[in-house]
Amino acid sequence: MYKIGVMGDRDSIYGFASAGLDVLPANSGADGAKLLRQIADDYAVIFITEKLASEMETELARYRDKTTPALIPIPGVTGDTGIGMANISKAVEKAVGADILK
């Protein structure tokens, strides 16, 4: 059975444990990439803080065309960097042929 997890710095992710999600602490892009390779087969959805996602873009690209896990950037305690919305815009443009969100 697949799981749902949240990856990022401790301050940003530990609140998700109360919602029943697995918290997967990673403080750097290198730590996050290594952790993602270890757990990818067990998770259907992994939320990743935008800061961590920006540090591990190469690793995330390996999973972009795969069905699972769905890797979803979320804002961390440092705020919204816009990475999540940029990824949604790219996906919409790919699916529709034009960026209809602007």
pLDDT digits (tens, 9 = 90+) for 43-66: 999 999 999 999 999 999 999 888
- Third-level CATH fold of 3-96: Rossmann fold (3.40.50)
Cβ contact 5:14 at 8 Å: no
pTM equals 0.79
Residue 75, H or E segment: none
Distance CA 66, CA 52 (A): 20
| pLDDT for 84 beyond 70 | no
Looking at residue 21, the DSSP 8-state letter turns out to be: P
Cα–chain center distance at 60: 8
